[in-house]
Amino acid sequence: MEIKNKLVELGLNYDNAVVIGSGILNALNLRECKDIDVVVIKEKYKEFSDNSRFKKEQKHGREILDDGLF
């Protein structure tokens, strides 16, 4: 999975997002991942949460947004 291309498609970059979890290992070609976990700034989160493309879910006691893309 080419993480950088997927992030660019979503309008994410070094200024507004950080890849965490197994996505880092994938980006370093150490291990394939099934999904990408990304932490974004408040403005991006609001933008995504207002977009019907993303579904709100609860995971580990926190609200997350999932688009099924990854």
User: pLDDT value at position 28?
Assistant: 85
Q: Half-sphere exposure of residue 42, counting CA atoms within 13 Å on the CB side?
A: 0
Enclosing domain of residue 56: 3-66
Question: Which conformational region is residue 59 in: left (phi greater than 0), alpha (psi within -120 to 50 degrees), or beta?
Answer: beta
- Does pLDDT of 69 surpass 80? no
The pLDDT tens digits of the residues spanning 4-25 come to 888 899 999 999 999 998 888 8
User: pLDDT value at position 70?
Assistant: 60
The pLDDT tens digits of the residues spanning 31-60 come to 888 888 999 999 999 999 999 999 999 999
What is the residue whose two structure tokens read 């493309």? 53
Q: What is the 3-state secondary structure (H, E, C) of the chain?
A: CCHHHHHHHCCCCCCCEEEECHHHHHHCCCCCCCCCEEEECHHHHHHHHCCCCCEEEEECCEEEEECCCC
- How many folded domains does the chain comprise? 1
